[in-house]
Amino acid sequence: MSKKTNVLGGGLSAILSDAPKIVQPVQQRPPIKTGIDLEISKIKANPNQPRTRFDENALQELANSIQQLGVIQPITVRQVAPDEYQIISGERRFRASQLAGVETIPAYIRDADDNITLTMALVENVQREDLDAIEIATSYQRLIDECELTQEELSKQVGKTRSSITNFLRLLKLPPEIQFGIINKDISMGHARALVSVDDCDKQMQMFAKIIEQDLSVRQVEDLLRDYNAEKKPKTPAMQISEASKSIQHNLEQKLGAKVTLCVTAKGSGKLTIPFTDESDFARIAALLNTN
């Protein structure tokens, strides 16, 4: 499949204006018919609709508004049979209109093949503000896979930075349980981004459970992550103590009457540890150290 990067440029409006060049010449058939009221019964949902969850309360509120004011913004459809249309964009308005019990809905009729339909639906969806992070990530991944876009091309087409695109796509690597937690708003995007950086699936699930059980903030999860990374960080190997250093260590033990521990790193730095039993023992050792 050839790339459709020019189709996406500038968002949905650019798609609507550019798509006729791909489907068929404008002079043969107008790309959009406006001002048409279509019968609800003749409209079908788009099987490629990337949005899978619709808030029932929000839908009912929109349905109440439609009963009072009608549908202000027309939906966009394509004709798939003599008396059948398929939604390209506006499925939420379509569903709310069904709830409202209206018989017709204003619509733009658009000429578009399956690929253009998918592209338009995906681009419209990622511009919405009410999608959860997993829906956005899934839409980004579909645009990359099915429309053959690179992350760089995708970032230009949807108006997001490449780092933002990458952060969303990384969420799809999380275990399904955590992805459902994001969808259900059990954890935030900030929590999820912290969990993504954990490279162990079992540890991710442990942290996820802890976030839920203890209602941890993002900052607290980041602190947990720092502790986890510190535990993973390999310790600097100790360097073998030279015979001369061992001799000095032994002489100190003899002089102080206490066990002396000497630790030297590979870089040559280190520390000398002299334990004491109580305050008086500490004073005794300090006095011996101060003598010549």
DSSP 144-163: HHHTT--HHHHHHHHT--HH
- 135 is an active site residue: no
Q: In a structure prediction context, what are the per-residue pLDDT tens digits for the chain, which is 292 residues long?
A: 444 444 333 443 443 344 333 333 333 334 445 558 899 999 998 776 666 677 788 888 889 888 888 887 788 888 888 889 988 878 888 999 999 999 999 988 877 666 666 677 777 767 766 678 888 888 888 788 767 788 888 888 788 899 999 999 999 888 888 988 998 889 998 999 999 988 888 889 999 999 999 999 999 999 888 888 877 765 555 567 778 888 888 788 788 877 888 777 767 777 888 887 778 778 888 888 876 5
CA 175 remoteness from chain centre: 13
Catalytically annotated residue among 91, 124, 135, 153: 91
The predicted structure's pLDDT at residue 105: 93
Secondary-structure class of domain 5-162 per CATH: alpha beta
Q: Letter for the amino acid at 51?
A: R
The predicted structure's pLDDT at residue 99: 92
| C-alpha distance from residue 193 to each of 105, 181, 261, 270 (Å) | 41, 13, 43, 38
According to CATH, where is 3.90.1530.30 located in the chain? 5-162
* Element at 220 (helix H, strand E): helix 218-232
Phi, psi of 187 (to 5 degrees): -135, 160
User: What three-state secondary structure class fits 228?
Assistant: helix
Q: Letter for the amino acid at 157?
A: Q
